[in-house]
Structure 1
Amino acid sequence: MNRQTKRAGGKFSLKQYKRLSVFVAVFMLSIATLFTGFADKAQAQEDILGLSAEAAILVDAETGKVLYEKNADVVLGVASMSKMMTEYLVLEAIHDGKIKWDQNVKINEYVHRLSAAPGLSNVGLTQGEDYTVKELYEAMAIHSGNAATVALAELISGTEKNFVELMNKKGEELGLKDFKFVNSSGLNNSSLMGNHPAGAADEENVMSARSTARLAYHLLNDYPEVLETASKPRLEFRDGRTYDNFNFMLPTLVHAYEGVDGLKTGSTDFAGYGFTATAKRGDERFISVVMKTDTRDTRFKETEQILNYAFSNFKKEQLVAEGQQIKGHESVPVVKGKEDSVKVQTGDALALTIKNGEKEQYVPKLVLNKDKLNENGELTAPVKKGDKVGYVTVETKDGEPISFLTEEGQSLAQVDVVAAETVEKANWFVLAMRGVGGFFGDLFGSVASAVKGLF
């Protein structure tokens, strides 16, 4: 190598060249380490439970606060867990008075043949016979009856094709992302005997774990009566047979787990074995989702791992007390009032489900209602005691975002901030004198500055 190395604009020595090479190497190593650190952090989050499931998520059922996730936004086959959307739409139709539980549904030839198809989860439905909405709903929710699901879809929308359109529309309304429904049951379209309502012949419903959890969150919070059926370990059907619930974590079943009372399993060759569970102990309720495990039992064992983690490591903690003043923001300035400020405080207590021992990691954050402030950030008198002036939420000291499934859930992580006292509007004379005082004060200030300038 030459003793001098040329570059645009001049030359630098071999020694300088070596220093530059070392600098570049160190810089690139630092960048690699930085991104490796990010990757390690993400991987540590994913592997914290050592699950074999392709995707998983754990959330607080009350607020939708995300407590654990693994590949939660990867789109996977959802299989019969998509029946939660059919359940949602049936319960919505009941609430809206469009259908009734005791309403009869006559079974057509296609639904009858589907109910007798080998290898599919079903209760036998006789062609030409009437079954009530409640019977069909229980067959769907307890034993994952596919033909019963199609019968309900046809009842609500006339055809399963129309119902699938409704499913996708409702998914958008509920804020689901990364999802697609092509039938009401979650079967592969190729299993529907040539009657697939949407999509290609070999497609099936897909969702991410986050969207599946969000659907379950809405189902539980909008129609909590869903658990009255989902919690039944067995179905006693009119044909005299007893059908087990495929949720084997319910009481008396093989993987029984304390507190589990729902919600829906699913399995196909494409989707693998998945399970959306919910469990409650005391005042704590959680929702968990595992997707694409390799065996039926694995989905229950890994759900048990997730729920053990939830009940052992998380609890609801009061982070902000009722009537609490936020340090550094004890009052808000007031204009045109008898006083120039008003004390503010929280209207209610704020509690969130957080990890044990991490209460001190959360700090309150005051957000004032800008619509009630003037351009100088002041409230305008009169201000009455109890008037809402903003809200308090919490954030972590290290700046880590607090993740929620929905904006509605996030709103549960905040409480109103209200005026702790009344500040009456000052009368016209006081306001006039303030104006005069302000005028002369400004005038005196200008004169003083001018005189000072002379010296």
Structure 2
Amino acid sequence: MKFFKNLKKTFIGIITGVTLFTAGAAGFGGIASVSAASLSSNSDSSLSLDVKAAIAVDAKTGQVLYSKNAETALPVASMSKLLTTYLILKAIHSGKLSWDQKITPDSAAQSVSQDTSLSNVPLESGHSYTVRSLYQAMLIYSANGATMALAYKVGGNSYKNFINMMRKQAKEFGITDASIYTANGLTNGEVGDAAYPGASSTAENKFSAKDMAIIATKLLKKYPEVLKTTSITKKYFNNGTGKTLMSNWNWMLKGLAKSYSELPVDGLKTGTSDTAGACFTGTVNKDGHRIITVVLGAQHTSDTDTSRFVQTQKLMSYVYNNYTYTKINSGSTYSSAKTLPVHDGKTLTTNVATGTATHIWLKNSTSSSNLTASVSGKKSLYKDSGLQAPLKKGETVGTYSFKVKGQSLYFLDGSTSLKTNAVTKSATSKANIFVIGWRAITGLFK
């Protein structure tokens, strides 16, 4: 009788344990649903930016270091070309397009290219241009007609198809609040026969500062070679009958009007229109630590107005002066998160460490000792309440999550903690059937 009472207690304990495990399992492998953190509380009253919206993020981790109205969709004009650039580089890397391939601009692209009131290199009717030359004109001189010629080709000789590709790519990036009508950022009416069907002539592309930061981080991670072009200050474009000098609109590049030796800016893209004001998505790599900044709606009184660059310099300086870059090395261990449970292993736990180096920006008022770690197991590797043995040394078995006491963390993907993978420090072999059986029997009487 006593045996059955103990057995009943064991089963109740097992059921309770399974219930608790199930409730906590959402944390394994990062599959828990995380609502996007509000960025409004990540501004700093000590930094006064004369812009409608702004954001500063780490280029690799997406950690948000400053934000102002960062989730409000606004006109961005030619900064739209960053998403177009991503799709063009995607086509090149997949073999659908090649750098030396010749493109003969369609009538809509050729017509827009002749508009001297817009940023353009003139494209001659019936003349062919290499993909490389059109790409350079798009990124260095923000040439609108050249952008359209590339988009038309990548879209399978269809502007509508290319815009749909842009919309799809934005959604794949997690961007759901954008409005996209043209490949170059002009209004729907300004692109003539390339207008998106069914949309008004005044329809224009709108993205939030956060959206632009997402696009820039994705672009730099996937195609870092883009910086080789965005860092070019001057280059000639051969339009078939003559040469056009292209001067980069990013005046923060080395040697240009708003360069600053302490901030080695090497990209990315400006955008200007009456509705957008002066906008700039910039990136700077200082001491090996790259950040991305976005400013929307800066003052624009004339073509010589430098307000967007002044505001960007303030924002970039703010990050480097108010945060400390802190590296987390691979192989790091933490007393609060050093083991994960093992099922049917010779040992019932396995020691874990960080598998990939990462980094975090800590406010100067915060010490690295305030960094706290937790670890969760990879659900797909679990059986019952532990990782299924055997396990190899260095096997990725879970995720480390880092928070900071006294500092709120925000990331572009909506998470509120820094994450990196957890790996086993040593191999764990499977226990033999006798040990497994004995554990099962003794477990009944506990």
2:280 aligns to what? 275
Change (3 A) 1:346 1:91: closer
| TM-score normalised by L of structure 1 | 0.79
Structure 1 counterpart SS, 2:283: strand
Is the Cα–Cα contact under 8 Å of residues 335 and 378 in structure 1 kept in the other structure?
Answer: yes
Counterpart pick for 1:355 among 363, 371, 388: 363
Deviation at 1:232, TM superposition (A): 0.6
Q: Which residue of 1 aligns with 2:121?
A: 123
Question: Which residue does the alignment assign to 1:174?
Answer: 173
Q: CA separation of 1:251/1:435 partners in 2, compared to 1, >3 Å: closer, same or farther?
A: closer
- Give runs of aligned pairs for residues 4-403 of structure 1, distance below 5 A: 42=40, 45=43, 47-157=45-155, 158-193=157-192, 195-198=194-197, 199-238=199-238, 239-257=242-260, 258-295=263-300, 296-319=305-328, 321-334=329-342, 336-358=344-366, 359-375=368-384, 377-398=385-406, 400=408, 402-403=409-410
CA 1:224–1:385 in structure 2 vs 1: closer, same or farther (change >3 Å)? closer
Contact kept in structure 1, 2:403 and 2:418, CA below 8 Å: no
For each residue in 1:253-300, what CA deviation from the matched residue of structure 2 results, as whole angstroms up to 9, or x when unmatched? 111133111110011111111000011123111110000111241101
What corresponds to 1:445 in structure 2?
A: none
Cα distance in 2 between the residues matched to 1:339 and 1:193:
71
* 1:223-265 alpha-carbon deviations (Å, 9 max, x no partner): 1111111111112122233121111111121111331111100
Structure 1 pair 335–153 and aligned structure 2 pair: CA distance change class (3 A):
closer
Long gaps (5+) in structure 1 = 1-38, 443-455
1:277 is paired with a residue whose SS is strand
Aligned partners of 2:191 and 2:178: how far apart in 1? 20
The unaligned stretches of length 5 or more in structure 2 are 1-37
- 1:122 aligned partner, one-letter code: N
Cα distance in 1, alignment partners of residues 113 and 437 from structure 2:
84
Deviation at 1:388, TM superposition (A): 3.8
1:370 Cα offset (Å):
3.8
* CA RMSD across the alignment: 2.8
Separation of aligned partners in 1, 2:345 and 2:104: 72
Structure 1 residues 398 and 232: alpha-carbon distance in aligned structure 2, compared to 1, 3 A threshold = same
231-240 or 365-374, larger mean C-alpha shift: 365-374
Measured in 1, the distance between the counterparts of 2:230 and 2:269 equals: 8
| Cα deviation, residue 194, structure 1 | 5.9
Counterpart of 2:419? 413
| Offset of residue 325 of structure 1 | 3.8
Task: Check 1:235–1:410 CA distance in 2 against 1; reply closer, same or farther (3 A cut).
Answer: farther
Deviation at 1:175, TM superposition (A): 1.8
Which letter does structure 2 place at the counterpart of 1:277? Answer: G
Structure number with larger C-alpha Rg? 1
Contact 2:336 2:374 survives alignment (8 Å): no
Whole-angstrom distance in 2 between the partners of 1:318 and 1:74: 32
Q: 1:265 to 1:435 in 2, by over 3 A?
A: closer
Distance 1:219 1:434 in 2: 53
Q: Aligned letter for 2:326?
A: E
Kept in 2, the 8 Å contact 1:264–1:276? The answer is yes
**Runs of 4+ with >6 A deviation:** 409-412
Same amino acid, percent of matched pairs: 36
2:258 alignment partner, SS class: coil
Query: Is the Cα–Cα contact under 8 Å of residues 345 and 420 in structure 1 kept in the other structure?
Result: no
- Aligned pair in 2 of structure 1 residues 399, 372: CA closer, same or farther (>3 Å)? farther
CA contact (8 A) 2:410 2:417 kept: no
1:357 to partner: Cα distance: 4.6
Distance across 1 between alignment mates of 2:96 and 2:417? 31
Greater relative contact order: 1 or 2 (C-alpha under 8 angstroms, separation 6 or more)? 2
Change (3 A) 1:185 1:313: same
C-alpha distance in 2, partners of 1:200/1:123? 27
Shift of 1:322: 4.3
User: For each residue in 1:103-128, what CA deviation from the matched residue of structure 2 results, as whole angstroms up to 9, or x when unmatched?
Assistant: 11223443333222231111111111
Which digits, 9 at most, give the CA deviation of each residue in 1:367-388, with x for residues without a partner? Answer: 123444454x344554554444
Distance 1:166 1:370, change over 3 A: closer
Shift of 1:183: 0.8
Secondary structure (helix, strand or coil) at the match of 2:123 reads coil
Of the structure 1 ranges 66-75 and 410-419, higher mean CA displacement relative to structure 2 is found in: 410-419
Deviation at 1:434, TM superposition (A): 5.2
